[in-house]
Structure 1
């Protein structure tokens, strides 16, 4: 049994980007702050459009609603602390707060995979079983699946925290990352990490590869169904309904798969490069997703234009009344 006394470590230190020269810290923190603001503004805008436009109350947009919520929570969990490190030289995080952050990082990552699976399921039913779509995937069905996903996704990350929290942390307290995650924390434990690292690795593979397998099956089935359409224009139109989801799914899975494959074939990254890649695939999609919705989804684009038109008309009316 591991020693339950971890009093020798009361806080952790996040290094951020270890090799970053001090003269660039202000620039990096400004970029991270801009990413955070754009992520919040973009995703909150999507939530506002959904709340104010009944035309968006469709299964696909309920799924996007969940993705926006997940993106906001993940960015809020990870970015403020690393920004404060470079702005206020506050890189320390308390012992308990680090584990709370670790829990939400893995919880929201798991939920993200579930949401992407729901996206693929939506397109699979819509294209492969169009006559059953309105029966199988009603708004209530997506709501039930989403709530179930948010509940189920809690289990494994909670177990990771429960197993890692009592470990004896009696050596270094420096985490070479921008946020607390399971690997970063447990490598600092004064005990054999294999008993704790392997289950975490299995969990990561099940979540990542399991959801990816379901997504690939869905889109392989979609491609087969599309190839059966005789009309070329019909094929293009059908595939275009998947474009938004495919872009979002690619942004999520491709960088992660590249990192895992690269490590297995012997490609080594420096600590800075590894952290940069992780931050890019963790923070870039939440920022860019709202732009993809508005550019690719016709209903979303029309709703945004209506709100913009109303704002302009309202401003013109106010100016006329003051004159």
Structure 2
């Protein structure tokens, strides 16, 4: 093991994931909230899928997008947590080179897909509030399916170069990744070659994909708020705004941690590495846990169906 981390090589058979550097002694304690987060994410998202499938009244565009988000969250969290818990619990730090590239692809791919789904859900809220009479016509089931497919294809294609960009690099001196998962730049930094292409492409994906999504969501909600404030009564304004509450909370829980992580990674040179890694974990692991909770609490139809389910089981 020690030889693999010091000898020169071009194509390493394995990488060594360090988990959270400088906090190795606390890995067992850190694993408790992470494992809890994962269990809640798995249960919550499966419950969302189950409720939407069983309740015909929820067979609407908003809930179809919510199901797509739930599947995305399940894949995203499962791409990270099992290996991370293996590091924390069993000190199983080795990951095969190809497995590392595969994890890298899934993480970045489904992060972009999740961002795209938030844009699609913002579009749904805009049409529902600004053009309510045409909602079922504009966002018919075939249109929703096409939007979902487009979001998935965009995420799959735009992140496809990541593993190829990482594979082409020659690696030397160390195969130790100071991270808890195979993040693109964290892997590329191990190379003994110029990684500017990797850096530039990573920035392109962030600004051209997630940046455009943020702009689209912002414009959508400006138009939504303008329509809401144009309603005649305060009660009508509050009732309409409540339909957007869950979506806004989910958006903030996804973009705010990811923005802080991006800024800390690019500009926080004096920030401890352990804080970087913790922040990178939070922005990928917390939204999959929070999304089903947010939609379960804020969305009356889901909340009522869940209550009926438990009451029925109790009787």
**TM-score > 0.5 by shorter chain:** yes
CA root-mean-square deviation: 1.7
Alignment of 1:1-323 (within 5 A): 7-22=10-25, 24-261=26-263, 268-313=270-315
Q: Check 1:38–1:128 CA distance in 2 against 1; reply closer, same or farther (3 A cut).
A: same
Measured against aligned partners, the alpha-carbon deviations of 1:27-62 in whole angstroms (never above 9, x if no partner) come to: 222322222111111111111112221121111000
Q: 1:319 maps to which residue?
A: none
- Which blocks of at least 5 consecutive residues in structure 1 are unaligned? 314-323
Residue 245 of structure 2 contacts residue 298 of structure 2 at CA under 8 Å; is this kept in 1?
yes
Residue 262 of structure 1 contacts residue 268 of structure 1 at CA under 8 Å; is this kept in 2?
no
Q: How far did 1:262 drift?
A: 5.4
Residue 57 of structure 1 contacts residue 139 of structure 1 at CA under 8 Å; is this kept in 2?
no
Runs of 4+ in 1 over 3 A off after TM superposition: 5-8, 258-268
Q: Check 1:21–1:171 CA distance in 2 against 1; reply closer, same or farther (3 A cut).
A: closer
Residue 13 of structure 1 contacts residue 93 of structure 1 at CA under 8 Å; is this kept in 2?
yes
Q: How far did 1:171 drift?
A: 2.3
Q: How far did 1:136 drift?
A: 0.3
Q: Counterparts of 2:268 and 2:43 in 1: how far apart (Å)?
A: 40
Over alpha carbons, which structure has the higher Rg?
Answer: 1
Q: Check 1:264–1:191 CA distance in 2 against 1; reply closer, same or farther (3 A cut).
A: closer
- Which blocks of at least 5 consecutive residues in structure 2 are unaligned? 1-7
Q: Counterparts of 1:56 and 1:30 in 2: how far apart (Å)?
A: 35
Q: Counterparts of 2:20 and 2:188 in 1: how far apart (Å)?
A: 19
Q: Secondary structure at the match of 2:95?
A: strand
Q: Check 1:33–1:139 CA distance in 2 against 1; reply closer, same or farther (3 A cut).
A: same
Q: How far did 1:152 drift?
A: 2.3
TM-score (norm 2): 0.93
Q: Counterparts of 2:154 and 2:11 in 1: how far apart (Å)?
A: 34
Residue 66 of structure 1 contacts residue 146 of structure 1 at CA under 8 Å; is this kept in 2?
yes
Q: Secondary structure at the match of 2:159?
A: helix
Residue 120 of structure 1 contacts residue 215 of structure 1 at CA under 8 Å; is this kept in 2?
yes
Q: Counterparts of 2:172 and 2:268 in 1: how far apart (Å)?
A: 32
TM-score (norm 1): 0.91
